[in-house]
């Protein structure tokens, strides 16, 4: 029997890149952790080192189906987050965001549990406002190839706030900007993992368009710290809240940094820009600084060094 004062926390998508790091931190905070994942993009390997911990439980489950468990808090991270994966089955991606939100909100309502939604900067689409504050409503193509993810996450946010208003459910909604670090999927199609894998293989670094489009990159440890601070914030602090690194880099700058850090002989190769690819993406984290006293601390070069070491040891040892 678990101690009466020990918090039991459900993490959906807990065997994924972000989820596995979150499970680690929750265990460090002396929580009982229930990790649920259907392994579409997550992997048992990401949490294998936690399986011997008596306070960690791993369950194979798809959030598009109801889940009947007893927990105190819920972190809803379940959804493929890279274009290659979420465009593989776009209908299922929308279901994961929408049905998954409905099922987890229903569980939270039954338990009166605090629930956290991992939303995304993709709700801003190809932004006409830069950097993007939480008040910006976005510029999203509702029928484009990225809409299954963008609109699914937007609908999930709507559901969270309607449950909050209608049922007084305690919610926390985070909008995550580009995050990177160890345990990223090597073939997820996202720019950091793409560039690192290509550089380590000595293949051309594929840059889409002229490489002038920008992104902001937050190291995973910084992001998870933001998750935990936000979940611990007073009930009235619901979000949505941007979490990300306001440092802005062009794709060319990132490619050159990866080539230098890997000591690769790879050259840069330009490809056509994909449809609806945002030209710029940078968070306004004024609210996160004020509400959580949070801002990223890991510089891009340091974080890339740690991520490159992980990829090299995991896939090239």
- The residues annotated with a catalytic role in the active site are 149
Closest CA to 211 of 291, 273, 121: 273
Burial label, 208 (beta-carbon count in 10 A; 0-12, 13-18, 19+)? middle
Closest CA to 192 of 300, 275, 277: 300
| Torsions phi, psi for 231 (to 5 deg) | -65, -30
Residue 131's alpha-carbon distances to 80, 85, 224, 277, 286, in angstroms, are 25, 27, 22, 16, 11
């Amino acid at each position: 029997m678990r101690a009466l004062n020990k918090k039991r926390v459900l993490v959906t998508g807990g065997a994924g890149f972000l989820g596995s790091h979150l499970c680690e931190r929750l265990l460090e905070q002396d929580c009982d952790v229930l990790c649920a994942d259907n392994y579409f993009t997550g992997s048992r390997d990401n949490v294998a080192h936690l399986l011997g911990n008596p306070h960690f439980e791993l369950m194979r489950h798809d959030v598009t189906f109801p889940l009947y468990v007893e927990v105190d808090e819920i972190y809803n991270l379940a959804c493929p987050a890279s274009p290659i994966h979420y465009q593989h089955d776009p209908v299922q991606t929308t279901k994961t965001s929408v049905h998954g939100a409905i099922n987890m909100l229903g569980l939270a309502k039954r338990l009166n549990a605090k629930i956290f939604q991992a939303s995304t900067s993709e709700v801003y689409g190809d932004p006409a406002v830069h950097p993007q504050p939480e008040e910006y409503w976005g510029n999203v193509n509702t029928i484009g190839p990225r809409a299954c993810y963008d609109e699914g996450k937007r609908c999930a946010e709507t559901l969270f706030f309607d449950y909050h208003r209608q049922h007084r459910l305690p919610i926390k909604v985070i909008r995550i900007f580009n995050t990177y670090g160890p345990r990223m999927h090597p073939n997820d199609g996202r720019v950091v993992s793409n560039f690192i894998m290509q550089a380590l293989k000595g293949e051309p670094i594929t840059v889409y368009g002229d490489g002038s489009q920008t992104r902001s990159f937050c190291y995973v440890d910084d992001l998870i710290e933001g998750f935990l601070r936000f979940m611990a914030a007073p009930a009235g602090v619901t979000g949505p809240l941007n979490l990300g690194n306001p440092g802005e880099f062009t794709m060319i700058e990132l490619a050159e940094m990866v080539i230098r850090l890997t000591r690769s002989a790879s050259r840069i190769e330009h490809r056509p820009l994909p449809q609806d690819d945002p030209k710029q993406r940078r968070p306004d984290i004024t609210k996160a600084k004020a509400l959580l006293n949070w801002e990223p601390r890991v510089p891009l070069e340091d974080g890339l060094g740690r991520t490159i070491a992980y990829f090299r040891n995991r896939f090239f040892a």
